[in-house]
Chain A
Amino acid sequence: AQTVTQSQPEMSVQEAETVTLSCTYDTSESDYYLFWYKQPPSRQMILVIRQEAYKQQNATENRFSVNFQKAAKSFSLKISDSQLGDAAMYFCAYRREDTASKLTFGTGTRLQVTL
């Protein structure tokens, strides 16, 4: 069974600074997807970034980028120029390649952004 581990229950970053959230996973599959989701206080799940396992290039979305290390099964999220609106719970998630596959979530990291 696939597992996703987030070892940082809480992180704090100052506004405009950079923070990295860690995620490791375990799978025997070679093709899969990895995601970072943001859950603000409204509790609406918002996709931050997606990485296909077959792609060697790390995904980037504006201030968000990932460091995907397939051999190490590591998938960290870097947030640059942190903003107050980035404060939220962040969940790392894994999904097998087949369309009907479920998402497996990590336990989440609560990010605080301070002035």
Chain B
Amino acid sequence: GAVVSQHPSRVICKSGTSVKIECRSLDFQATTMFWYRQFPKKSLMLMATSNEGSKATYEQGVEKDKFLINHASLTLSTLTVTSAHPEDSSFYICSAIKGHTEAFFGQGTRLTVV
């Protein structure tokens, strides 16, 4: 099946710094990718839709200046958590749709802000 690679899998950063998470579709082109956030024992909450070559579409309540999304190519989307704070600590997951129907997910990134 298709592979979506997310990097890093774990990151610890100091409060006030920025962290970049990469999401790559390894064997297919993805004009649209999605970024989710998942709190412990909770469901996936969509943060934003990443569109290749254009601005991301953010869900209500998600700060676009806080969570910067760049989709510069058909195989790469990045999420940058700017000026991270402990409350940004979470599990972040990306996904990309291959073909018409199936979404493939990255392995997720566990972000801890200390």
B67 interface residue per 8 A CB criterion: no
Point out the residue from B49, B101, B108 that lies within 8 Å of A43, measured CB to CB. Answer: B108
- A44 contacts B107, C-beta separation under 8 Å: yes
- A33 contacts B101, C-beta separation under 8 Å: yes
- A91 contacts B44, C-beta separation under 8 Å: yes
**How big is chain B's contact interface, by range?**
20 to 34
Which of A13-21, A68-76, A77-85, A103-111 contacts the other chain?
A103-111
- B43 contacts A105, C-beta separation under 8 Å: yes
Instruction: Give how many A residues have a beta carbon under 8 Å from the other chain's beta carbons.
Output: 21
- B43 contacts A45, C-beta separation under 8 Å: no
A99 interface residue per 8 A CB criterion: yes
Point out the residue from B46, B93, B97, B101 that lies within 8 Å of A45, measured CB to CB. Answer: B93
Instruction: Give the 10 A-B residue pairs with the shortest CB-CB distance, closest first.
Output: A45-B105, A100-B32, A105-B43, A107-B43, A105-B44, A43-B108, A108-B43, A102-B46, A44-B107, A33-B101
A residues in contact (CB < 8 Å) with B: 33, 35, 42-45, 47, 50, 52, 91, 95, 99-100, 102-108, 110
